Amino acid sequence: MTSKQEAIISGEQIKNMLLGAYKSFEKNYQYINDLNVFPVPDGDTGTNMMHTMAAVAREISQLQNATVSEVGTMAARSAIMGARGNSGVILSQLLRGLGKGLAGKKRATSNEVGKAFQFGILYAYRAVSKPVEGTILTVARAIAKGAYHAVRQGEDFEDVLCEAVESGKKELARTPELLPALKAAGVVDAGGQG
């Protein structure tokens, strides 16, 4: 039985992943805003997440030939400094955990990136005084679990990310069952969608 050789992820790949996330927020922030009913229906979750990622994109786009540690550190720092609203703060903490998990590494394996996602969940839950299931936290935890399982199966980095996203989508679909306000409005959690 042969096993796959574990992928090595460069700082440039992490940078491109984060820049891609920002581009996705740019395209979809209004859709996310339209879902926003919890904790208050103020319609700004997508905008806040987009602005948080814009701060990250501005800083990391200047990095050239950076290590995964340098990209992770810069992403975490800029997200924390640029965080807006509850969703932006939680997103910044997810990125802080990613940065912590990649600290000191020139490049990373899929396994190390998967572990970095776990740090993100830890920091995000700690950032919220009263975590509520059915929110961005629940979806982010499912994403981290999906990444963990894909890493354990020896998947390559692209498949790890795909499995993480699919796990998040499945949990996002369940958010109305976990949070009555979402069910009453007929929507999924806006932060989780983000």
- Residues 48-68, mean pLDDT to the nearest whole number: 97
**Higher-scoring residue by pLDDT: 82, 5:** 82
pLDDT tens sequence across 150-159? 988 988 888 8
Q: Is the pLDDT of residue 120 over 70?
A: yes
Q: Which residue has the tokens 């996330």?
A: 21
Q: Is the pLDDT of residue 2 over 80?
A: no
Average model confidence (pLDDT) across the chain = 93
Q: Is the pLDDT of residue 1 over 60?
A: no
Q: Is the pLDDT of residue 105 over 90?
A: yes
Closest C-alpha to 101, from 137, 71, 80, 134: 71
- Residues 96-102, mean pLDDT to the nearest whole number: 96
CA atoms within 13 A on the CB side of 192: 32
- Residues 64-90, mean pLDDT to the nearest whole number: 97
Q: Indicate whether this model's pTM tops 0.95.
A: no
Give the pLDDT of residue 168. Answer: 97
CB 150 within 8 A of CB 163: yes
